[in-house]
Structure 1
């Protein structure tokens, strides 16, 4: 059988894409709302870009999931290139809001009631992007609101899909593991390092961090002295400031002390 050469319209599946705008207000018995077409297209564009973001994140996490990332290969360059691409897409998505702003509140209200209880909250891909990047639901204000299956929430199928993504290592977690594996601070590499400050030598076994902490301390004014407690906890897990559990969580966030030292 002769192979049909690619054709622009068919390659892009334009029949499927261009016939997927079905404004509810255009249905029989409703008053057509002109701006509903814009509303649909903008949100479909968002979801297409969300798909691309997830595609890029998945490729990055696949690289970070390797036991080692060889600096002599193209892996590091690929990660950086694709993260930059994600940032560019997010900047573009922010610009789409300006187009949406051409629709007045009255224009929106002319069809909004027809969409109840649906809302952008139910974007599964948006939740998956959050989870893939490493946003923990328990770190959100009113965390239970973001994962619900009541009216206006997710279907059980979508809810399960989000849970599955949250159960896999996020980009933040994989980055943390990668940083922890970095050999920069291996003591064998610092045998010939000359301490700048002998007075701080007893703080830690590592000469670089002795000097770093000493220089940091010298740079604090009298009103900033309590920042040294933050420094010691974040980088060395030393709770000299007697922080509460909540304060520790706020200081620690997602990255461990060894990962932050490498960073």
Structure 2
């Protein structure tokens, strides 16, 4: 609703829904004009920091927030206009290996089934598969359940497993960021009987994300700082669950 109201002030009626998202005409001169405005003389720096408390002499009228305005030093703008050495730490990101480029559909060579069909059945595990013959999009959904009888052996094992899954999720946050940008999704769940791994997205690069998860699972590691952080978070989570009225009432009834 808010975006729609803003678009109504900026775009013609036919572009209310897509005006700020879809560009139907390629106009290189407009792009060049915008880039030409990015010059040192028009730079505007905004610094947000609690360290400046008491040093701001202005106050905005809506929320009473303190702020100050200063001119950029001439020596800075002169430096920016000169042919100075670039900081090697400032560069474009490397190519995202998780971005799909092959969107072709797999051959429809599997018989249509109402439910997933079991295609692997061994002592180590079972595998079910169902081909998408309805929506016909190049996406896949993978769900693995790694079952272990050790988890339910004791309450301590349940808690340790919970800690393990939370640390694993923490370890994956940074390396899996590019996959998230490429619209690949994953979720790790500490189930009652084992680890549940769910991944979905464009099937071209989905195996890379799954392999990343398996790598961090098999090469699991942690630090004392991370362990302490996760255990403190779990303590708060457990406490909040226990004080919920419905949880307490259920426990009393049992």
TM over 0.5: no
TM-score normalised according to structure 2 size? 0.20
TM-score normalised according to structure 1 size? 0.20
Which has more helix, going by share of residues? 1
Which has more strand, going by share of residues? 2
Whose Rg is larger? Answer: 2
